[in-house]
Amino acid sequence: MSIFQTISGFISAAMLVASWFFLFVGAVAVIRLPNMYSRMLTSSVVDTVTMLLILGGLLFYPEILASNFKIAILIIFLLITTPMTSHLIARSARKCNLPLDGGCRR
């Protein structure tokens, strides 16, 4: 095993562990936040960061260097679509007069 494979393996493992950390902190934040809009913002940011860390970890994984182009295309696609979908969901919630104060209608 070369030094390059060892270093890229450590980088890959560190990125995958960091993705679990962001996923756990984001899940706690989504539960604790008061209204739908702040929960949606947190979940979209956590989703984007976690996916980027997971795919970045796969990008550095030594055994799958042949599919780096596909992973890079997937990263670009997720960077474009994930914020756009959360914006569209928030916009439709606002158009349906979902209250900002966190209260729910019954």
35 CB-side CA count, 13 A: 13
The span from the CA of 82 to the CA of 80, in Å, is 6
pLDDT of amino acid 106: 47
Query: What is the per-residue pLDDT across 63-80, written as a single tens digit (0 to 9) for each?
Result: 776 688 889 899 999 999
Phi and psi at residue 78, to the nearest 5°:
-70, -35
pLDDT of amino acid 23: 94
pTM for the model stands at 0.81
